[in-house]
A and B are shown apart, each in its own frame.
Chain A
Amino acid sequence: MRMRERTFRVLMRRLVSCSLIAILALVSGSILRAEAAGREINVAAAADLSAALQEVVADFERRTGISVKLSFGASGALTQQIQNGAPFDVFFSADMDYPRQLIAGGQAEGATLYRYAVGRLVLWVPSDSPLDVEHKGMDVLLDHSVKKISIANPQHAPYGRAAVATLKHYGLYEKLSDRLVLGENISQAAQFVESGNAQAGFVALAHASAPTMQGKGKYWIVPAEAYPALDQGVVALSRSPRKQDAEAFINYVKTAEVAAVLRRYGFIVPEQN
């Protein structure tokens, strides 16, 4: 017994010294990395951009050497974080109201506001679902097998508001409101359906047409008249210590290359702004 205790103590001592060395290495490593880091901007972006913007950023980084760090979330949630001092340089919203709110509050530069795309809403079901959403559209929501319909939280996600407006437009909101489940943002709304926990959901066309979603679902594009247009705006933030790089990125977003990428993901990009 004594013997075992002694080996245990030796083992513990070794473990402690090993972890101390590991911690030292990690800390010094991160300090060195921070010093070596070149130009870099932090971008907050609406969740519907999660696939498209990564492609845009990869091109931008290759051309300019400025690295871009992306954080995705619901536009309202990101706005709230920016208002409370989150260290972002650029903000891509899924509407125009949140950027305007930030401009009015002095947290964003009004001159940089740019409508980069118009988002589109789709009704999405998994590909193995018996619901014929492509031909029947909204009617599939009345099917008795649809117990849960996922949408983004309309309180802080523009796509959630568009989904509620769509349901109201077709006179289905009253009937279906107790079947709605709210995703924290449009990505979570999509993930609720994709994982088979909700039977249908309102997601961004940009999600439905992302490469990772190919073959996983079928969808019906909600006609534009059913909800107020999802004009999406980007803006540079006032707190940014890297305004030049931030504006360089926004200017890049205005190019035809980026417009082509965004169109490929289902966004409508206005010809001239």
Chain B
Amino acid sequence: MINWQAFRLTIELAVVVSAILLMIGLPLAYWVAFSRWRWKFLVEAVVALPIVLPPTVLGFYLLVVLGSRSPLGRWWLSLTGHTLAFTFAGLVIGSILYSLPFAVQPFTASFSSVDRRLIVASATLGASPLRTFFRVVVPLSMPGMITGIALAFAHTMGEFGVVLMIGGNIPGVTRTVSIDIYDQVQASNYGAANATALLLLVFCFAVLTVVYGLNRGTSKHKLWPLGPVR
């Protein structure tokens, strides 16, 4: 009754997306936390956009940009012979954009809560900024980083609107759990919808329980939702 193929695909998508978000989210969050550029707030606003924008806005623009009518779409088409929409890679791109704030904001919050004196001390002892980052900032920001990754993971697991708009509902490629549940409901197969939905509910609850359990008492600051930085 449960569509295991859709479940495996969704977990795969969430793992890939959270891994990429860790790679691009860390430097971005570091920059947002420590930069003194006066227009920084603009970047912060852009990062937060997916929280307020409906998925249809993102889905619509992705469809336009990825399609063969746009220069980017044409370039990709000439490179690979197919367009990005309706592919796993297309979903990854959409999900990265859509889940970006859920990773970057907790990262930023925890980076900026690190005691500046420790960073300065590390620097005066001769450590390079990179060494300071991995030896001082990252260990002290662990709870925030775990929160960011877990939220990005869970948010991608539960993504629906963007996938509906750019996925094309292909079994094993773009038919994620949320789409499968939607299809089952639309076709009045409430039994199958319930089985898959319940599994997703339990799974996401478990992920969040682990995250908040790990974070219990370790942080003085709020990691989510993000309060004003600094």
Q: Do A and B bind each other?
A: yes
Q: Which residues does chain B contribute within 8 Å of A183, judged by CB atoms?
A: 168-169
Q: Which residues does chain A contribute within 8 Å of B187, judged by CB atoms?
A: 76, 80, 155-156
A181 at the interface (CB under 8 A from B): yes
A147 at the interface (CB under 8 A from B): yes
Contact assessment for B170 and A197 in the assembled complex, using a CB-CB cutoff below 8 Å: no
Q: Which of B79-126 contact A (CB under 8 A)?
A: 81-83, 85-86
A182 at the interface (CB under 8 A from B): yes
Q: Which residues does chain B contribute within 8 Å of A77, judged by CB atoms?
A: 186
Contact assessment for B168 and A195 in the assembled complex, using a CB-CB cutoff below 8 Å: no
A182 partner, pick from B168, B185, B188, beta carbons under 8 A:
B168
Q: Which of A144-172 contact B (CB under 8 A)?
A: 147-148, 150, 153, 155-156
Contact assessment for A156 and B186 in the assembled complex, using a CB-CB cutoff below 8 Å: yes
Q: What is the total number of residues of chain B having a CB less than 8 Å from a CB of chain A?
A: 23
Contact assessment for A148 and B188 in the assembled complex, using a CB-CB cutoff below 8 Å: no
B169 partner, pick from A147, A153, A198, beta carbons under 8 A:
A153
Q: Which residues does chain B contribute within 8 Å of A148, judged by CB atoms?
A: 82-83, 85-86, 168
Looking at the assembled complex, report how far the CB atom of B79 sits from the nearest CB atom of chain A, in whole angstroms.
Answer: 14
Bound Cα distance from A198 to B69, whole angstroms: 11
Q: Which residues does chain A contribute within 8 Å of B73, judged by CB atoms?
A: 196-197
Q: What is the total number of residues of chain A having a CB less than 8 Å from a CB of chain B?
A: 24
Query: Could you tell me the dominant secondary structure of chain B's interface residues?
Result: loop
Contact assessment for B86 and A181 in the assembled complex, using a CB-CB cutoff below 8 Å: yes
- Nearest residue (CB) in A for B90 is A197
Bound Cα distance from A49 to B63, whole angstroms: 24
- Nearest residue (CB) in A for B164 is A184
B183 at the interface (CB under 8 A from A): yes
Contact assessment for B186 and A155 in the assembled complex, using a CB-CB cutoff below 8 Å: yes
Contact assessment for B186 and A147 in the assembled complex, using a CB-CB cutoff below 8 Å: no
Contact assessment for B82 and A180 in the assembled complex, using a CB-CB cutoff below 8 Å: no
A64 at the interface (CB under 8 A from B): no
Q: Which residues does chain B contribute within 8 Å of A195, judged by CB atoms?
A: 63-64, 67, 69, 85
- Assuming the contacts A80-B186, A155-B187, A156-B187, asked whether A150 and B69 have C-beta atoms less than 8 A apart, the reply is no
Listed residue (A77, A155, A197) with the most chain B CB atoms within 10 angstroms of its CB: A197
- Assuming the contacts A74-B186, A76-B187, A180-B170, asked whether A198 and B86 have C-beta atoms less than 8 A apart, the reply is yes
Bound Cα distance from A153 to B183, whole angstroms: 9
B150 at the interface (CB under 8 A from A): no
Q: Which residues does chain A contribute within 8 Å of B188, judged by CB atoms?
A: 76, 79-80, 83
Contact assessment for B67 and A196 in the assembled complex, using a CB-CB cutoff below 8 Å: yes
Q: Which residues does chain B contribute within 8 Å of A184, judged by CB atoms?
A: 164, 169
Contact assessment for A196 and B83 in the assembled complex, using a CB-CB cutoff below 8 Å: yes
Q: Which residues does chain B contribute within 8 Å of A182, judged by CB atoms?
A: 168-170
B186 partner, pick from A76, A178, A192, beta carbons under 8 A:
A76
Looking at the assembled complex, report how far the CB atom of A109 sits from the nearest CB atom of chain B, in whole angstroms.
Answer: 21
Looking at the assembled complex, report how far the CB atom of A146 sits from the nearest CB atom of chain B, in whole angstroms.
Answer: 10
- Nearest residue (CB) in B for A157 is B186
Bound Cα distance from A178 to B81, whole angstroms: 16
Bound Cα distance from A191 to B188, whole angstroms: 26
A-B contact pairs, 8 of them (CB 8 A): A147-B82, A148-B86, A153-B169, A156-B186, A156-B187, A178-B170, A181-B86, A197-B85
Not counting A150-B168, A181-B86, A181-B170, a sample of 5 additional A-B residue pairs whose C-beta atoms are within 8 angstroms of each other reads A74-B186, A80-B186, A148-B85, A153-B183, A196-B73
